[in-house]
Amino acid sequence: MKHVFTFDPDKCCACSACVIGCTDQNDIDLAGGEQCFRKTYDVEIPLQDGDVYYAYLSTACMHCKDAPCITACPVGCISKDPDTGFTIYDNTACIGCKSCAMACPFGAPRYRKEDGKMVKCDGCYMRVKNGMKPACVRACSFGAIDCVPEDEYLASGSNKACNALIDQLNLRKKI
């Protein structure tokens, strides 16, 4: 079943539990300088009216429907999981050219120094197929991140998509 990640910026506090959940799931060597697939942001944005907007955000791969990383990869590592619809990969043939990361509007694919290959969030598609929530979702105590079947998401009015956080910031800038 196709699944969708949602994010509610009014529930996030950038506590990074999602980052640690992802790190724990994917054995990412954070201390060794590798980057987690998910990242949080605690940002202060001075507004034109003198006020300050405090943004608390969490992002990873957006699992775009029309993912530019798939076409950007010269060796065809990246594909869509037919079941979940997540953007997954097999980096056996990866040449470490970083084209995927450059094509991605969110810079989601990471270059792993250890073996010179690309890695990224695969939506925990194996967990989802086994009826489990992705690691980051399970780690969030506040319901800020979720992963729901596409039909449920569409029925909910789609107003909590990951990309909404971008709109949210523009609105709050009061330009």
Partner 1 sequence: MTELEKRIKAKIPGEDTGIEIKHSLCAICSPAFHCGLDCYVKDGKIIKIEGSPDWPGSKGRVCTKGQSNRDYVYRPDRIQTPLKRVGARGEGKFEPISWDEALTIIAEKLNEVKAKYSAHSVAFYSGHCKWYRPILHRLCYSFGSVNFGTDDSTCFKANDIANKLTFGAGAGPNTPKANTFLGWNYGGYYAKHMSVAGVRALKERGGKVIIIDPRHTPAVKNLADLYLQIKPGTDGALALGMGKIIIDNNWIDADYIEKYVHGYEQYKALVQNYPLDKVCAITGLNADDIYEAARIYATNGPATVNFSGCTQTHHINGMQSTRAIHALIAITGNYDRPGGNVPGGVSYLHKNGGFTTREKEFRESLRPHDQLRIGETRFPIWDEYCDEFHAVDLIRQLEEGTPYPVKAFVGLGLNAKMLPESDRLLKAMADNLDFFVDADLFMTHSAKYADIVLPACSSLERGEMKAYEGGFLAYTSPVIEPQFESRSDVEWLCDLARKLDVDDELLKAGYEACCDWIIQDTGLTVADLKKSDMPVKVPTAKPANKPGTYLAGGCKTRSGKIEIYSEAIAAVDAKYGLNPLPDYQDPLYDQNDPEMVEKYPFNMVAGVRLPHTQHSRLHEAPWLRSLRPDPLCEINVEDAKRLGIQENDPVEISSPSGTIYAKAKVTHKFQPGTLMMIHGYTEANVNNLIVSTHLDPYSGYPGFKSARCTIRKYEEA
Q: Does 115 bind partner 1 (CB under 8 A)?
A: no
Tell me the C-alpha distance between 3 and 142, whole Å: 20
Q: Which residues contact 158 (CB under 8 A, 6 or more apart)?
A: none
Q: How many CB atoms lie within 10 A of CB 169?
A: 15
Residue 4 CA to residue 26 CA, distance in Å, equals 20
Which of 4, 6, 21, 109 is the binder for partner 1 (CB under 8 A)?
21
Integer Cα distance of 52 and 47 in angstroms: 5
Nearer to partner 1, 24 or 114 (CB): 24
Closest by Cα among 4, 12, 7 to 145: 7
Q: Applying CB under 8 A, which part among 79-87, 101-109, 113-121, 130-138 lies near partner 1?
A: 130-138
Q: Restricting to residues 133-162, name those near partner 1 by CB under 8 A.
A: 135, 138-139, 141-143
Q: Which stretch binds partner 1 (CB under 8 A): 23-31, 96-104, 113-121, 146-154?
A: 23-31
11 binds partner 1 (CB under 8 A): yes
Taking CB under 8 A as the criterion, the residue among 46, 48, 66, 159 binding partner 1 is 46
Retrieve residue 74's tokens. 């010269």
41: contact with partner 1 by CB under 8 A: no
CB atoms within 10 A of CB 97: 14
Q: Which residues bind partner 1 (CB under 8 A)?
A: 10-17, 19-21, 23-25, 30-31, 44, 46, 52, 54, 56, 90, 124, 126-127, 130, 132, 135, 138-139, 141-143
